[in-house]
Amino acid sequence: MVLFNDAMEQRLLGEYDLHLDHSGVQGKRLASRLREIAQVGFTAEMGSCRLGYSDEEKQAKDLVKQWMRDSGLEVRQDDAGNVIGRLAGKQDNLPAILSGSHVDSVPNGGHFDGVLGVLTALEVVEAWKETNYQPSRPVEVVIFSDEEGSRFNAGLTGSKAMMGDVGLSDLKSLIDHEGVPFEEVVRKNGLSANSFMDAARDTKEIAAFVEVHIEQGKQLEKNNEPVGIVTGITGLNGLEFSFKGKAGHAGNTPMDDRQDAMVAASEFILNVSFLPKKVSSTAVATVGRLHVFPNGTNVIPGEVKLSVDIRDIHRETLDELVKLIIDEAKRISTVHKVDAVWEETSLADPVLVQDFMQVLQADSLKENQIHPIYIPSGAGHDAMIVGRHVPIAMFFIRSKDGISHNPVEWTSLNDCVTGVHVLKKFLEKLQHSI
């Protein structure tokens, strides 16, 4: 483990352009901190495992808490385990600008997802400290708890609690992958499920939230730019379909006398892949789970159940795509003489980044000699939850080959530090514009 993490820091620094060390920003400090957090929850496959409300997530938070204190921030932890490091502003009674992300991970994830958003925000504070700069309004570096949701199959817990979007009954119904109730898990973490509602903040205290995250895609890589602007976070409709035909003997049932649920489902799956482009350039639809009954090698499938994950950046086109997919299921059921039924399993509205935020973001990029690339986020982030209540902005930082949630996830230190400079410029602009 030590050898890998030393090698990680050496790789980061080995390809680093020292000219990026200016205005108080230090690449070596950022690389060292990335390495230290990578050691927490390090896996045999050289990945990260810091599940929500685990000892590993807490240990990573404690590391960052110490760095926050060392940088002069006033540090506190709320009743949902969220960590907040506050830098006083010249007008400290003004609503604060928040920036950060999370330090929990999927079971065998990478070393940049979430963590980079926390450390870039903290590095901006470090740079301000070294250059004797005080913002006009307070700025808070935030670590949200349990963003990934890998432990309870229900993520964004910390940001939902802070925004008052979580219910006690919902929390108490959660059980982790080992069968341990949510209440018991958080108790071991020094928290109480009954107190989670107390984490809710008055949104009047928050002027805006800014999140930096690795892209988890290839648009920046294709455009050869280190940092891009997130236009919004896609909404989601999850549907569960069931095609019901008639099971029969594979040898004794003629081809023209079948009600084959698999044939119907197969045509549906293929056609779903063509429908998103009919509504928008940002829409996507994915069939990700399939169950066949009775699932025998010599039996005509009598029923097929499948999931469809449907996403887009705008509610109107998302709804349009959902209708097209349902209409296609109806058409195919008629053609193949099978029944089709469906139910909605999940629903989340899109969250858009306001135009004035994107203008400030573009200016911050241009002042760092970066051509603005605009990218919708197909994945959920804490900014999605916060953005339902206050203005948000998100920056993506280039990730190699678009890989994430994987031990080989990689973002160069040059791109990481460039992201710090962009965030720093943006926060300095934003405090006077909101």
**Length of the chain measured in residues:** 434
- For residues 248 and 228, give the distance between their C-alpha atoms in angstroms, rounded to a whole number: 54
Alpha helices in 256-412 (DSSP H): 261-272, 315-335, 355-366, 382-386
Q: Give mean pLDDT, residues 118-130.
A: 98
Specify the 3-state DSSP secondary structure of 281.
Answer: coil
> Which percentage of the chain shows pLDDT scores above 70?
99
Q: What is the pLDDT of residues 132-147, one digit of tens each?
A: 999 999 999 999 999 9
The per-residue pLDDT for 346 is: 84
Q: Note whether 65 and 26 are within 8 A (CB).
A: no
- Give all domains of the chain, ordered by start, each with its CATH number: 2-234+350-430 (3.40.630.10), 235-348 (3.30.70.360)
In the numeric block, which tokens belong to residue 409?
């996830």
Q: Give mean pLDDT, residues 363-384.
A: 96
Burial of 330 (0-12, 13-18, 19+ CB in 10 A): exposed
Is 102 labeled as ligand-binding? yes
Mean pLDDT in the chain? 96
Q: What is the pLDDT of residues 165-210, one digit of tens each?
A: 999 998 999 999 899 999 999 999 899 999 999 999 999 999 999 9
DSSP per-residue codes, 90-143: TTTTSPEEEEEEE----TTB-SSTTHHHHHHHHHHHHHHHHTT---SS-EEEEE
Residue 395: name the closest of 210, 253, 140, 161 by CA.
210
The per-residue pLDDT for 154 is: 84
Q: Tell me which residue has tokens 């309870």.
A: 152
Q: What is the pLDDT of residues 287-338, one digit of tens each?
A: 999 999 999 999 999 999 999 999 999 999 999 999 999 999 999 999 999 9
Q: What is the pLDDT of residues 213-232, one digit of tens each?
A: 999 999 999 999 999 999 99
What count of other Cβ atoms lies within 10 Å of the Cβ of residue 249?
A: 10
**Beta bridge partner(s), residue 327:** none
Q: Give mean pLDDT, residues 400-418.
A: 96
In the numeric block, which tokens belong to residue 19?
């000219």
Is 260 labeled as ligand-binding? no
Is 336 labeled as ligand-binding? no
Statement: residue 3 has pLDDT above 80:
no
The pTM assigned to this predicted structure is 0.90
* Residue 4: band (very low, low, confident or very high) from pLDDT cuts 50, 70, 90: low
* Residue 1: band (very low, low, confident or very high) from pLDDT cuts 50, 70, 90: low
Is 92 labeled as ligand-binding? no
Statement: residue 112 has pLDDT above 80:
yes
Q: What is the pLDDT of residues 31-42, one digit of tens each?
A: 999 999 999 999
Residue 207: name the closest of 94, 118, 304 by CA.
94
Is 389 labeled as ligand-binding? no
The per-residue pLDDT for 2 is: 54
Q: Give mean pLDDT, residues 65-80.
A: 98
Nearby residues of 268 by Cβ (< 8 Å), 6 or more positions away: 241, 243, 306, 328, 329, 332
> Which percentage of the chain shows pLDDT scores above 90?
94
The per-residue pLDDT for 348 is: 86
Residue 104: how many CA atoms within 13 Å on its side-chain side?
28
